[in-house]
Chains A and B, each alone.
Chain A
Amino acid sequence: MKIDMGSARFRVIRDADRCINCRICVRQCGFGAQKYDSELDAVDTEDRLCVACHRCTSLCPTAALSIEERPLAYRRSGSWSADHIEFIGRQAETGGVLLSGMGNDRSLPVYWDHLLLNASQVTNPSIDPLREPMELRTYLGRKPERLEVQTQPDGTIRLAKQLYPAVQLEVPIMFSAMSYGSISYGVCESLARAAAQVGTLYNTGEGGLHQNLRRYGANTIVQVASGRFGVDRDYLASGAVIEIKIGQGAKPGIGGHLPGEKVSQAISRTRMIPVGTDALSPAPHHDIYSIEDLRQLIFAVKEATEYTKPVSAKIAAVHNVAAIASGIARAGADIIAIDGFRGGTGAAPTMIRNNVGIPIELALAAADQRLRDEGIREQVSLVASGGFRCSADLVKAVALGADAIYIGTAALVAIGCHLCQKCFTGKCSWGIATQDPNLAKRVDPEIGAERLVNLLTAWSHEMREMLGGMGINSIESLRGNRLHLRAVGLSEKECQILGVKCAGEAM
């Protein structure tokens, strides 16, 4: 018995006066919602298939198309949303697990929106970033508690002991882990080129490193995940940083499957697995069942690369994140990356994405404070990620305690993503989350890189303005400087965890 409970979510409005029947929308729609009827010689839309990715509206030469949300057809209920009803419908039909793409879309509090920044007035000056120096350079890596120096006979002072290698970022914004497979090659190359141009890093994710991209190694974080796809000595040697992926904010405790149909020739080569097989990355590394095992793997990659590069460990923000972060620091990681529950993904079980993990703001604040309580915060770098939408979010993250942040979703939006959340279908009309060559070719690495460079340039400029306003001319003076944050609309407990005062409270 077929009971279709999935009604169309969107309606595509076609202005007949404007439509010139050019069929661009038909060719552009990756989801087959736009159809050409040759008998009628007319284009029509199957609303049920529309995901509101806006590819058609963006490319329609006469602006004949618009998309609107269909009105709620269900009887109003404070408990049962349209999603709940339709999810059950789909599951009753298929017996399957619900999948989603991108980050958690529930309207849970975004703490960035409850935090406000400071600016100088009278008692100290704001700084004009256009004319005065303003430094965003950040080093990620392990630092000694105390620097050892020696004075030479001629009176000059030198380092007595070199620091462990660190990586230099010209802006404290990196592109987060997105594997070749989950995204198209063009996006990978866009990210790599942009990172190289700006002087920051992109992250391969767990899908290996394409041969063509090895030349961007100095701007690459190579990830080692449970499936070890594409991981060999050369891969480890190629990157500037090695990141051990423990978890991901969108799906803490859950692994990933790259479905076999996406494992093309090129992906097969990059991941070092046969064409067409599922690529399974279960949640745990089977050599990490405990914190001392993480230490073992950290030092395995350090030995294998002769201690020439920092090692990061990435975890999802979960309830005990602060203690875990402390354990990671003590396990020898040089960088701790924490991914909050709004972090993106190519595919995650919907229930996991929407219900597991905690917001990055609270996780970051708790981890930074814990590391400080233990006196080891300065010895490691802390990277935050998971749903950063604008430069103000990241300035607030630095003030809470982050050394740098990762952006994933924002980077994809810069190259066309409209957050339709259908990444896992492989039909992405924008050519981003797809391996279909006809779709993937839509991302031109040159244009993609340019748009990403523009984004980072714009955000850097905005960061400088905000720093200047606070009277700070170097990013490290904002790091963990929570006195520059004030809360609005938060409970005392939330303020306490965030370590911020309420707006209106004095310094």
Chain B
Amino acid sequence: MKDKVKVNGSELDAHGLHYSELNRQILRLLRKGQQSMTLRGVNGQRYIGAGIQAKAQLAVHGTPGNDLAAFADGLQITVYGNGQDAVANTMNKGKLVIHGSVGDLLGYSLRGGSVLIKGSAGYRAGVHMKQYVDQKPLLVIGGTAGDFLGEYMAGGDLVVLGLGCTADHPVVEDNIAPGMHGGRIILPEPVPEYSLGREVHVYELTNEDLAFLRQTTLMYSQTFGASAQHILQRRFVKVAPKGARPYQAMYA
């Protein structure tokens, strides 16, 4: 590992850097008042933007490591590449755009801000998403998502657009939203009954849901250059909890 980071104005060359050093340099630039910066040569560095409370823009080129934007609080991060596991873990505020796909555990306990994934997400996306008053997270996955989507979800909006799904690769294969007790998941049909957690139902979209979906799709297509019209040709439904108290009658 190199011990000196190359800084060129607002550009950081992350090639071969340890994550600790990279993050220290990001903080240093932020504290100098830098409002936007570009990270090049990123490959596997964990925790980029972790715990940072700032509104600055961060462009990431390469493959950021696990826990990208963990606990982040306001950063506007754009990734030109794929993300790995635990992207936006417990992220609080800000915006994360990924021009690619991500691994497992996207948006674990996401509690605010918006996360847009151009491609697909792995298992357990949106687990434990929560909302509180005006803190309402938005998680958008352009492609498909793995099992256990929205497990224990307690609030916020999760949208899966299902682009590129096939019979072999359905939008979500199984175990959708077990333990979900708040928020909504919007995804294209079909959502077979067997694939649902016990605590949720499939509902028709309300007018409000539909308006929200249109707006979200528009945002997606503007960000990634897809056709909103094409996306909305499919019929979407909503997965939502039967109640906010899934285990009320569990105890003797």
Q: Which residues of A contact B (CB under 8 A)?
A: 87, 90-91, 93-99, 226-229, 231-234, 236, 257, 259-260, 268-269, 272-274, 276-280, 282, 286-287, 296-297, 299-301, 303-307, 424
Cβ distance A348 to chain B, nearest Cβ, rounded Å: 11
**A231 nearest CB neighbor, chain B only:** B90
Measured in the bound complex, the distance between the Cα atoms of B70 and A424 in whole Å is 33
B128 with A99: CB separation less than 8 A: no
- The distance in angstroms between the C-alpha atoms of A296 and B44, with both chains bound, is 13
B105 lies within 8 A of A233 (CB): no
A-chain residues with CB within 8 Å of residue B23 when the two chains form the complex: 303
A274 touching B182, Cβ below 8 Å: yes
Q: Which of B55-63, B157-165, B186-194, B243-251 touches A?
A: B243-251
Question: Is B51 part of the contact surface with A, judged by Cβ < 8 Å?
Answer: yes
Task: Say whether B108 contacts A272, CB under 8 Å.
Answer: no
Distance in Å: Cβ of B43 to nearest Cβ of chain A? 17
Does B132 belong to the interface (CB within 8 Å)?
Answer: yes
A86 CA / B71 CA spacing, docked (Å)? 47
Cβ–Cβ contact A300 & B67, under 8 A:
yes
Other-chain residue from A93, A231, A280 in contact with B154 (beta carbon distance below 8 A): A280
* 27 A-B residue pairs with CB within 8 Å: A93-B252, A227-B128, A227-B152, A228-B90, A228-B111, A228-B128, A231-B71, A233-B51, A234-B73, A236-B71, A259-B245, A259-B247, A272-B132, A273-B130, A273-B131, A273-B155, A274-B132, A274-B154, A277-B154, A278-B245, A286-B128, A287-B89, A300-B47, A300-B71, A303-B70, A304-B52, A307-B20
Interface size on B, residues (CB 8 A): 48
- Give 7 A-B pairs besides A232-B71, A260-B248 with Cβ atoms closer than 8 angstroms: A94-B251, A228-B109, A274-B244, A280-B181, A280-B247, A287-B105, A296-B46
**CB-CB contacts of B142-154 with A at 8 A, as 1s and 0s?**
0000000001101
The 8 closest A-B pairs by CB, nearest first: A304-B51, A96-B252, A228-B109, A303-B47, A272-B132, A277-B244, A303-B50, A304-B71
Q: Binding site of B, secondary structure by majority: helix, strand, loop or mixed?
A: loop
Bound form: Cα–Cα A236–B20 in Å: 18
Q: A97-B251, A232-B92, A280-B181 are in contact. Are A303 and B130 (CB under 8 A)?
A: no
**Closest-CB distance, B179 to chain A (whole angstroms):** 6
Does B127 make an interface contact (CB < 8 A)?
A: yes
When the two chains form their complex, are residues A306 and B27 in contact, meaning their CB atoms are under 8 A apart?
Answer: yes
Q: B76 interface residue, CB < 8 Å from A?
A: no
> Which of B27, B47, B131 neighbours the largest number of chain A CB atoms within 10 Å of its CB?
B47
* B-side contacts of A274, CB under 8 Å: 131-132, 154-155, 182, 244
Q: A278 CA to B244 CA in the complex, in Å?
A: 6
Chain B residues engaging chain A, CB cutoff 8 angstroms: 19-20, 23, 27, 46-47, 50-53, 66-67, 70-73, 85-86, 89-90, 92, 105, 108-109, 111, 124, 127-128, 130-132, 135, 151-152, 154-155, 179, 181-182, 244-252
Contact assessment for A273 and B154 in the assembled complex, using a CB-CB cutoff below 8 Å = yes
Inter-chain contact B250/A96, CB cutoff 8 Å: yes
Distance in Å from the Cβ of A93 to the closest Cβ of chain B?
8
CB-contact partner of B19 in A93, A301, A303, A306, under 8 A:
A303
Q: Which residues of A contact B135 (CB under 8 A)?
A: 272
User: How far apart are the CA atoms of A303 and B19 in the complex, in Å?
Assistant: 9
Most buried by B among A90, A94, A236, A306: A306
Q: Is the CB of A236 within 8 A of B244?
A: no
- Please give me the residue from chain B that is nearest to A237 by CB atom: B51
Question: Are the C-beta atoms of B51 and A287 separated by less than 8 Å?
Answer: no
- Chain A residues near B105 (CB, 8 Å)? 286-287
Chain A residue at minimal CB-CB distance from B74: A233
Chain A neighbourhood of B92, CB < 8 A: 232-233
Q: Are B181 and A277 in contact (CB under 8 A)?
A: yes
How far apart sit A287 and B89, CA to CA, in the bound complex (Å)?
Answer: 9
Among residues of A, the one whose C-beta sits closest to the C-beta of B252 is: A96
Bound-state Cα–Cα, A295 to B2, Å: 23
Closest to B72 in A: A233
From the candidates A96, A234, A277, A280, name the one contacting B249 in the complex (CB within 8 A): A96
Of all chain A residues, the one with the shortest Cβ separation from B180 is A280
User: In the assembly, what is the distance between CA of A91 and CA of B23, in Å?
Assistant: 54
Q: Is the CB of A278 within 8 A of B181?
A: yes
